[in-house]
C-alpha cells in the first residue's frame, strides 16, 4: 500500500502542529506513539500510517521550493519541523523525504520539463529515487561501474537505493567516460507505479538493523533504455552535481539525529524523575545528574551546530562543502554521546524491547542513530572530504581578503537570504567566513 496523495496546496506546517496531530507519544494506543514505533520495528514494517498522516498534513512539501508547489521557507525551519516528526520515529524521514537528493539535483541542473515532472510526482506524495552507490565501490565514487553504452542503454547495479521499489522515477549516475570525476552523467529514468521499464529489476536490498522497514532497493539495469530527454544537465557533470546535492541532505540527516537525541534525553529525564532509589528519586543522585547534564550539553552543542549549519547554507553556500561535513560529524557523534550517557542512567532498561521507558523504544533509537551516522557518507569519507579542503582554507585565510559576513547565521531573528542550491560548491575556494 502506498501513502495517500494530496493535490491541494497545504499551508506550511509548524513543529507544534506536528506534535499536536501526532498526539501523545506515551499513549500505548496511539498509532503515532512509541509503542507503535516499537511494534513496526519488530515487524520490519514501513511506517505507512504515520507517513500517510504526515502527507495529508503537507509535511512532505517542507523541502520543496514554492515554485514546485512546496512550502519550503528556510532550512532552519525545515530542520526543526523534521526534528519534531523524527522524535516519534526517524523512519518518517526516509518515508516522506528520501527524494530530497534527486529533487536537489534537478533544481541544480534539470530541464524545465524534468523539474515539472519531478515536482508533480513529489507534490502528489510520490517518490523519486537517487541511485549512485554501488556495493563494490562505496565512497570510492570514481570507480562506479554502471555505464551507458553506445546505443543509449544502461548496464550495471545500484545498491541501497532509498525508495527504489516505489519510486516513479530514478535519477541514476552512470559512467559515460573512461576515468576521473568527469566520467559520469546523470539520467532521469521513468519508472511509473505498477510498471517496470524493460531491463530493470527492482530487488529488495538487505534488511537494515536500524530504520527498519524503510524501502531500500537494489536496482539492476540490464540494457535499460535512456530515451532522448532523459539526460540531466551536461555530459560529465553527474558526479559533481550529485556530490553538491548531498550537502543539502546532510542537513536533514542532522534533523534525524536531533530527533533521536531529544527522545533519548526526554525518556531518561522522565525515568530519573520517577525511579525511586532508597529514599529519593534518581534525579537527586549525583551520578545520574552528572550523566544527564553531560547528555544535555552534548544535545545543546548538536542543536547549536545544526542550527548554524541550516542557516549557514543560506548565507554562505560557497563554503558549505566545509560546514556540511563538519556539522554532520559533530551532530552524529554528539548524538552517540547523548545515547551513551542516557544508556548509563537507563541501565538495563536501555536494552529492553518492552517494559521500559517509551515502551522500549530506546534500543530502537540506538540502532536508528547508527544508520543515520552512515546514511549519506561513512564517517571517514565525511571527515576526509573536510580534511581535503584544509590546505586551501589555510592558504586563503593567511592571504586575508574580504570574507562574507556570517552575522545572520548566528542572529536567529535576522532574515535569511534565499536558498540557492546552484551556489553549493564541491570545494571551498576562498577563506571560510
Ligand atoms: C538507510 C540508507 C539509505 C541509503 N540511501 C541511498 C540512496 O538513496 N542512494 C544511494 O546512492 N545510496 C544510498 N545509501 C548508501 C550510502 O550512501 C552509503 O552507505 C555510503 O555511501 C557509504 O558506503 P560504504 O559504507 O560502502 O562506504 P565507504 O565509505 O566506502 O566505507 C567502507 C570503508 O572504507 C573506508 N574508506 C572510505 N573512503 C576511504 C578512503 N578514501 N581511503 C581509505 N579508506 C576509506 C571507510 O572508512 C570504511 O571503513 C544509503 C545507505 C543507507 C544505510
Question: Please, what's the b/e burial string for 85-117 (b: 16 or more CB within 10 A of its CB; e: otherwise)?
Answer: bbbbbbbbbbbbbbbbbbbbbbbbbbeeebbeb
Location of C-alpha cell 534527486: 102
- In the chain, which stretches have pLDDT less than 50? 1-7
Q: Can you list the domains of the chain with their CATH numbers?
A: 15-109 (1.10.540), 127-239 (2.40.110.10), 240-423 (1.20.140.10)
The pLDDT value given to residue 301: 98
Percentages of the chain per state (helix, strand, coil), in multiples of 5: 50, 10, 35
For residue 212, the surrounding DSSP H or E stretch is none
Residue pair 264/362 in contact (Cβ under 8 Å)? The answer is: yes
The Cα 64–Cα 169 span in angstroms is 17
Q: Is 376 in the pocket of ligand 1 (CB under 6 A)?
A: yes
Location of C-alpha cell 567516460: 177
Q: Is 374 in the pocket of ligand 1 (CB under 6 A)?
A: yes
The pLDDT value given to residue 10: 55
The pLDDT value given to residue 5: 43
Residue among 172, 199, 306 at smallest CA distance from 252: 306
Count H helices, E strands: the chain? 15, 10
Q: Is 371 in the pocket of ligand 1 (CB under 6 A)?
A: yes
Location of C-alpha cell 541501565: 347
- Cβ atoms within 10 Å of 145's Cβ, excluding its own: 12
The pLDDT value given to residue 132: 96
* Ligand 1 pocket mutation, candidates 138, 159, 169, criterion most atoms within 8 A of CB: 138
Question: Please, what's the b/e burial string for 349-372 (b: 16 or more CB within 10 A of its CB; e: otherwise)?
Answer: bbeeeeebbbbbbbbbbbebbbbb
Ligand 1 midpoint to CA 365 (Å): 21
User: What are the cell numbers at 27?
Assistant: 499513549
Q: Is 249 in the pocket of ligand 1 (CB under 6 A)?
A: no
**pLDDT tens digit string along 287-308?**
999 999 999 999 999 999 999 9
Kind of pairing between the strands at 276-277 and 128-131: unpaired
Q: Is 53 in the pocket of ligand 1 (CB under 6 A)?
A: no
In this structure, is the dihedral angle defined by the CA atoms of residues 12, 17, 19 and 20, taken in order, positive or negative? negative
User: What are the cell numbers at 22?
Assistant: 501526532
Residue nearest to atom 12 of ligand 1 (CA): 133
The pLDDT value given to residue 233: 97
Residue among 379, 382, 427 at smallest CA distance from 240: 427
Residue nearest to atom 35 of ligand 1 (CA): 380
SS3 129: strand
Q: Is 184 in the pocket of ligand 1 (CB under 6 A)?
A: no
Q: Is 367 in the pocket of ligand 1 (CB under 6 A)?
A: no
The Cα 420–Cα 273 span in angstroms is 46
Length of the chain: 433
**pLDDT tens digit string along 81-117?**
999 999 999 999 988 999 999 999 999 999 999 999 9
Amino acid at each position: 500500500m502506498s501513502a495517500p496523495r494530496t493535490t491541494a496546496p497545504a499551508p506550511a506546517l509548524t513543529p507544534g502542529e506536528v506534535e499536536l496531530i501526532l498526539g501523545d507519544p506515551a499513549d500505548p494506543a496511539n498509532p503515532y506513539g512509541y509503542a507503535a514505533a516499537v511494534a513496526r520495528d519488530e515487524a520490519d514494517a514501513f511506517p505507512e500510517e504515520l507517513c500517510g498522516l504526515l502527507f495529508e498534513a503537507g509535511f512532505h512539501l517542507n523541502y520543496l521550493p514554492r515554485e514546485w508547489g512546496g512550502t519550503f521557507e528556510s532550512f532552519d525551519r525545515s530542520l526543526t519541523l523534521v526534528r519534531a516528526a523524527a522524535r516519534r520515529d526517524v523512519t518518517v524521514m526516509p518515508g516522506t523525504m528520501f527524494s530530497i537528493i534527486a529533487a536537489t539535483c534537478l533544481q541544480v541542473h534539470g530541464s524545465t520539463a524534468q523539474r515539472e515532472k519531478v515536482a508533480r510526482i513529489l507534490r502528489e506524495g510520490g517518490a523519486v529515487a537517487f541511485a549512485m552507490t554501488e556495493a563494490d565501490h562505496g565512497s570510492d565514487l570514481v570507480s562506479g561501474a554502471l555505464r551507458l553504452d553506445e546505443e543509449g542503454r544502461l548496464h550495471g547495479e545500484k545498491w541501497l537505493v532509498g525508495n527504489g521499489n516505489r519510486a516513479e522515477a530514478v535519477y541514476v549516475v552512470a559512467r559515460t567516460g573512461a576515468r576521473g570525476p568527469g566520467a559520469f552523467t546523470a539520467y532521469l529514468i521513468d519508472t511509473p507505479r505498477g510498471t517496470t521499464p524493460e531491463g530493470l529489476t527492482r530487488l529488495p536490498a538487505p534488511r537494515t538493523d536500524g530504520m527498519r522497514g524503510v524501502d531500500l532497493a537494489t536496482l539492476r539495469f540490464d540494457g535499460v533504455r535512456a530515451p532522448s530527454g532523459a539526460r540531466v544537465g551536461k555530459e560529465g557533470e553527474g558526479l559533481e552535481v550529485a556530490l553538491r546535492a548531498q550537502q543539502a541532505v546532510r542537513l536533514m540527516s542532522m534533523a534525524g539525529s536531533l530527533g533521536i537525541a531529544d527522545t533519548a534525553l526526554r525518556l531518561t529525564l522522565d525515568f530519573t524523575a520517577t525511579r525511586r532509589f532508597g529514599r529519593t528519586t534518581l534525579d537527586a543522585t549525583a551520578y545520574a545528574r552528572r550523566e544527564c547534564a553531560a547528555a544535555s550539553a552534548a544535545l545543546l552543542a548538536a542543536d547549536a551546530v545544526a542550527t548554524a549549519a541550516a542557516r549557514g547554507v543560506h548565507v554562505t553556500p560557497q563554503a558549505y562543502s566545509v560546514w556540511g561535513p563538519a556539522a554532520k560529524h559533530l551532530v552524529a557523534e554528539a548524538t552517540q554521546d547523548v545515547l551513551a550517557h542516557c544508556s548509563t542512567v537507563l541501565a538495563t532498561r536501555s536494552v529492553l524491547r518492552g517494559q521500559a521507558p517509551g515502551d522500549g523504544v530506546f534500543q530502537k533509537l540506538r540502532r536508528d542513530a547508527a544508520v543515520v551516522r552512515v546514511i549519506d557518507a561513512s564517517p571517514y569519507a565525511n571527515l576526509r572530504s573536510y580534511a581535503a579542503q584544509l590546505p586551501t582554507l589555510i592558504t586563503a585565510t593567511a592571504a586575508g581578503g574580504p570574507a562574507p559576513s556570517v552575522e545572520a547565521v548566528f542572529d536567529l531573528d535576522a532574515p535569511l537570504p534565499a536558498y540557492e542550491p546552484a551556489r553549493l560548491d564541491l570545494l571551498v575556494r576562498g577563506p571560510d567566513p
